[in-house]
Amino acid sequence: MNKRTFGNMISSEEIQLSGYKIENGIFSTTPYTIGIYQKGSNWYVYKTDERGELRLEKEFSNEDEGYDYLIRLISLEKKLENQ
């Protein structure tokens, strides 16, 4: 998956997560955010807490791996919110 495909999924509301803002391609310190951004040649998937502090960050060497991990992270969060 890549940035454009993921962006299209967000736009068409295929990907939604109540309580979290999903960022595509930028880092945000907004509370309760899950996102991905590129720095140099690496991609970073992150999650912030209620204070906007970074609670999870994982580094990837390519875009596809980063977006695949982000989709898995969002899927896990959706399962947790439905329990």
pLDDT band at 4 (very low <50, low <70, confident <90, very high): confident
List the one residue out of 49, 57, 60, 56 whose CA is nearest residue 1: 60
Say if residue 31's pLDDT is above 70.
yes
Do residues 73 and 45 lie in contact, with contact meaning Cβ atoms separated by under 8 Å? yes
Residue, of 38 and 79, whose pLDDT is higher: 38
- Output the pLDDT for position 2: 78
pTM comes to 0.83
- Output the pLDDT for position 44: 97
Buried b (16+ CB within 10 A) or exposed e, 35-59: bbbeeeeebbbbbbeeeeeeeeeee
Say if residue 72's pLDDT is above 80.
yes
| Alpha-carbon gap, residue 42 to 10, rounded angstroms | 22
SS3 of the chain: helix, strand, coil, percent, to 5: 35, 30, 35
Residue, of 16 and 39, whose pLDDT is higher: 39
- Output the pLDDT for position 14: 60
